[in-house]
Amino acid sequence: MASEALDIPIEIAFHNMEHSDHIEQQVHRQAKKLERFKDTIIGVRVAVEADHKGSQSTDFSVKVEVKVPKSLIVGQSHGRPHTAVNNADAYGFIRDAFDNTVRRVESYIKKHFEPTKTPVGEKRQARVTRLDTERGTGMLETETGQSLFFQAGAVKGEDIGSLAVGTIVSYTVAKAEGAYGPEAETVTRVVGGRS
């Protein structure tokens, strides 16, 4: 069954228990927490399971699997409800499983999709993406995808005109941003540095 709010497929499976419209409704309600990640999420599978230990005890578990590009993120919650599985007590496990999953999806997106800034003063490598030798300016693209502006005075050991688009350079980031945003304080050609 698909959730209209998420606009992504949600598969719900019940194991060792009867299908419950109430639990399914709660799963869809909690799945709305993933809505802000809908551009990254490919699909969601939720497994709701009851493990009957005896006539008086049942372990209840909820496993949420979120498929994202090149990975599967899993969040889960389990425990023993105070009363029958179909009671509202099971909803807490569903909520906890989705809260756990949301934290894991946030961490995945931060690690894989949000560009990280290069620390000030740390020497790294980049590629020249634009040059304007008449104005004495250029742009670099760092290994993390960040764009850095640089001026002719930042180029060390040679003239800005000796650089070309595609040249690999090492750089350090200036402490203060310039008029065009983050700026390279020093730019030095890497030996043999052509892309």
| CATH top class, domain 124-194 | mainly beta
Find, among 80, 44, 82, the residue nearest to 63 by Cα.
44
Three-state secondary structure readout of the chain: CEECCCCEEEEEEEECCCCCHHHHHHHHHHHHHHHHHCCCCCEEEEEEEEEECCCCCEEEEEEEEEEECCEEEEEEEEECCCCCCCCCHHHHHHHHHHHHHHHHHHHHHHHHCCCCCCCCCCCEEEEEEEEECCCCEEEEEECCCCEEEEEHHHECCCCHHHCCCCEEEEEEECCCCECCECEEEEEEEEEEEEC
pTM of the model: 0.54
Tell me, what's the pLDDT at 3?
41
Which listed CATH number (3.10.310.10, 3.40.50.150, 3.30.160.100, 2.40.128.20) goes with 2-112?
3.30.160.100
Question: How would you write the pLDDT of the chain (195 residues) with one tens digit per residue?
Answer: 444 456 778 999 999 888 989 899 999 999 999 988 888 889 999 999 987 766 566 778 899 999 988 888 898 887 766 554 445 567 888 999 999 999 988 888 777 665 555 555 567 889 999 999 999 999 999 887 788 999 999 999 899 999 999 999 999 888 887 777 789 999 999 876 554
What whole-number distance in Å separates Cα of residue 176 and Cα of residue 12? 51
Q: Which two tokens stand for residue 14?
A: 């019940």
Where in the chain are all domains bearing CATH 2.40.50.140?
124-194
What are the phi and psi torsion angles at 167 (to 5°)? -65, 135
CA 18 to chain centre: 36
**CATH 3.30.160.100 in the chain, residue ranges:** 2-112
Residue 188 forms beta bridges with which residues?
170
Contacts of residue 114, Cβ cutoff 8 Å, sequence gap at least 6: none
Can you tell me the distance from the alpha carbon of 138 to that of 156, in angstroms, rounded to the nearest whole number? 14
What is the edge-to-edge ordering of all strands in the sheet holding 124-132?
Answer: 147-151, 137-142, 124-132, 167-173, 184-194
